[in-house]
Every structure is written in C-alpha cells, then in structure tokens.
Amino acid sequence: MRIFHIATVADWRAAQESGSYTTSTLGVSLEDEGFIHASRSYQWEGVREAFYSGVTEPLVLLEIETDLLDVPIVEEPPTPGLTETFPHIYGPLSPAAVVEVVELS
C-alpha cells in the first residue's frame, strides 16, 4: 500500500543525510506528536490546502511504500470526534521506504 506525507524540502534533505525522517507535520516533531501524519492518495491535497497553504518554502510529496516500513502504521482520526481516518506512522520514517518524491509548486 502507498501512503503520502507532505514535507519541506529542508526536512526531507536532512532526513536523507541522517537516514531518518522525524517530522510529524509542519513545525511539529515525531517526538512531540508521537507519530508522523500521513494520508491516502485522495486525502493529501486536502491536507495541503488545510495546513500548508500559507507555506512559502519549497514542499515535496513523499510517496511511502508501507511494506518497506519497519515501524507500525495505525489508522486513526486526526482529532477526536472525526470519523475519517488517516494513516499514522508510529516511529521514524526510513528514507528507503520513500519510493517517489514529487515537488509541489
């Protein structure tokens, strides 16, 4: 299965250098949130519109192959009371699990 995560170019480059991506979402670390936010193919554009519309730094869309992850993925609503679920990655994301990187303009 493929899931998606929006990242800043700077965060993605740092992950490639360190071997571990640990940004949960814009300005929030994995350590602070407890997981990395991800979405399905039909959800990421809404996430971009809701949370990244004011971002001026370059962004990329990470396409992640879940079979290559070595940490758990849990389907959960992003906030209590919502019924739609999103995939949450419970641990650092290995760059090796990212099978495609698309620049977002």
- Residues 18-22: what's their mean pLDDT? 97
The domain over range 2-104 is classified in CATH as 3.20.170.20: yes
Question: pLDDT (tens digit, 9 = 90+) per residue, 49-87?
Answer: 999 999 999 999 999 999 999 999 999 998 888 999 999
Average pLDDT, whole number, for the chain? 96
- Residues 35-41: what's their mean pLDDT? 97
- Residues 38-46: what's their mean pLDDT? 97
Residue type, 46: G
- Of the pLDDT bands very low, low, confident and very high (cuts 50, 70, 90), residue 105 is confident
Query: Tokens 């679920």 — which residue?
Result: 85
Q: What angle do CA 102, 104, 105 make, to 5 degrees?
A: 140
From the list 28, 46, 45, the residue with the least C-alpha distance to 37 is: 28
Please tell me the distance from the alpha carbon of residue 58 to that of residue 10, in angstroms, as a whole number. 8
Q: What angle do CA 40, 35, 47 make, to 5 degrees?
A: 35
